[in-house]
Amino acid sequence: MNTFLLLIMMVVIGAAIGGVTNSLAIKMLFRPYKAIYIGKLKLPFTPGLIPKRQEELAKQLGRMVVEHLLTADGLRRKLERPVFQQQMTSWAQKEVEKLMDREFTLHELLKEFGMNVTAEDLEQNVATWVESRYHSVMDRYRESPLEDVLSEEWRIKLVQGTGQAAALIQNRTTEYFQSSEGRRKVTDLIENYLDNQGFLGNMISSFLGSDGLTERLYPAILKYAQKEETRQWLEEMLSVEVEKMLKQPFGFYEEKVGSELVGNILGQTIAKSLPFEPWLERTMKEWTNPYREIVIERLTPMLVEKFSHLLSERIEGLMESMHLSEIVQEEVQAFQLDRLEEMVLGISRREFKMITYLGALLGGAIGLLQGLLVLFLG
């Protein structure tokens, strides 16, 4: 009986030692979380294995994720898969459609992005921009002759236009002289001329009278105004003036009005001509409705494809710039140990229990073997 009790006690003691030892070893993976000191002496095996090696574990996990799990080749293969492309396109089309169907105005959309823009602000900005662009362009062309600024087509049109202008001036002059007002004007000019000629003028006026002189001179004036020679003279005169104009620097004409005034008027005119207020009050649906099918069915898939291709080509540089290994390392280092313990135990609780039971079984077997050896030896 004593022999049997001895064997049972050694088996129980061995099993208890094996089970407790394995359970303690499992606990020591995480606990204690911090080092324990007795005075200035640190207690051995504190903190636990994972808390003690958390920084090294974080560094190794960061390297493992970048070098073996989240690799550039793996991400590139994922991006280039037709199924993934189709999923991304479908998702993008749904999001674009939601955005285009929203009943908010352009003004409200800008507000969402922190830009409280009014029509007056837009008018002022456009006017300022146009004025700035005007002065910027003029700084380049102000000293250039007008003929260098104008295109070849416009120079040809300007030169050819002198003939048309001469004909127009001749026609309008003839029409004026043929009118009663033109005839009266000729009479007034003759009377004024004779009045200023003193005795000679009075003598001519007394013999012919202003009306008589008008009757003699008026047909000659009218005939001269209608002559081809007069038109050619007008055309030659206009051609000379046009040539002078083309040789003048562009800034010469600007000075006649004033550069600041021209820039200001140009900016204000263009800004006032744009309907900013109606634009801001139009909804996104109204803005996009004419292009809805094009944007959703054609533009969105094309942009998704282009973006995926661009991302695939630059994935290595993007991953390097993101420093993924450092991100993983920082996240692991900042992870709460109690949460990590809870996660690991929650996943492997059954396996840890089996390890504890195995330790107890091995301890009991070793205790039984020791008891048998004790009985056999003595």
Q: How confident is the model at residue 90 (pLDDT cuts 50, 70, 90)?
A: very high
Note the pLDDT of residue 338: 77
Query: pLDDT tens digits for 203-224?
Result: 555 555 555 556 666 777 777 7
138, 217: one domain: yes
Share of the chain above pLDDT 90, in %: 2
Query: By the 8 A CB rule, do 265 and 157 touch?
Result: no
User: Residue 88 domain-assigned?
Assistant: no
Query: By the 8 A CB rule, do 28 and 43 touch?
Result: no
3-class SS of residue 258:
coil
Lowest mean pLDDT among 15-29, 45-59, 118-132, 289-303: 45-59
Note the pLDDT of residue 197: 56
- Domain endpoint, select from 284, 315, 348: 284
User: Residue 29 domain-assigned?
Assistant: yes
Query: By the 8 A CB rule, do 102 and 282 touch?
Result: no
Query: pLDDT tens digits for 273-291?
Result: 888 888 888 888 888 888 8
pLDDT exceeds 80 at position 69:
no
- Side chain identity, residue 108: E
Note the pLDDT of residue 152: 77
Query: pLDDT tens digits for 29-65?
Result: 777 778 777 877 877 777 777 777 777 877 887 788 7
pTM surpassing 0.75?
no
User: Residue 145 domain-assigned?
Assistant: yes
Looking at residues 318-344, what average pLDDT do you find? 76
User: Residue 270 domain-assigned?
Assistant: yes
Spell out the SS3 assignment of 244-309: HHHHCEHHHHHHHHCHHHHHHHHHHHHHHHCCHHHHHHCEHHHHHHHHHHHHHHHHHHHHHHHHHH
146, 60: one domain: no
User: Residue 299 domain-assigned?
Assistant: no
Note the pLDDT of residue 201: 47
User: Residue 324 domain-assigned?
Assistant: no
273, 136: one domain: yes
> Which position has the token pair 């104008």?
150
Average confidence score pLDDT of the chain = 79
H runs (alpha helix) in 179-197: 180-195
217, 268: one domain: yes
263, 147: one domain: yes
- Domain endpoint, select from 267, 284, 301: 284
pLDDT exceeds 60 at position 362:
yes
Share of the chain above pLDDT 70, in %: 90
264, 349: one domain: no
pLDDT exceeds 80 at position 229:
yes
DSSP class of residue 64 equals H
Query: By the 8 A CB rule, do 146 and 245 touch?
Result: yes
Query: pLDDT tens digits for 336-347?
Result: 777 777 777 777
Looking at residues 109-129, what average pLDDT do you find? 84
- Domain endpoint, select from 249, 266, 284: 284
135, 252: one domain: yes
Note the pLDDT of residue 156: 78
Note the pLDDT of residue 212: 57
User: Residue 104 domain-assigned?
Assistant: no
Lowest mean pLDDT among 55-59, 74-78, 231-235, 342-346: 342-346
Count: domains in the chain: 2
166, 42: one domain: no
Query: pLDDT tens digits for 241-253?
Result: 888 887 888 777 7
Looking at residues 103-110, what average pLDDT do you find? 79
Q: How confident is the model at residue 91 (pLDDT cuts 50, 70, 90)?
A: very high
> Which position has the token pair 């994972």?
50
**200/175: higher pLDDT:** 175
User: Residue 239 domain-assigned?
Assistant: yes
278 token code pair: 């109606």
349 vs 355: CA distance, rounded Å: 10
pLDDT exceeds 70 at position 129:
yes
266, 190: one domain: yes
275, 132: one domain: yes
41, 130: one domain: no
For residue 51, the enclosing domain spans 1-80+336-377
Looking at residues 280-306, what average pLDDT do you find? 86
127, 74: one domain: no
- Which of 66-70, 129-133, 255-259, 311-315 ranks highest by mean pLDDT? 129-133
Spell out the SS3 assignment of 109-149: HHHHCCCCCCHHHHHHHHHHHHHHHHHHHHHHHCCCEHHHH
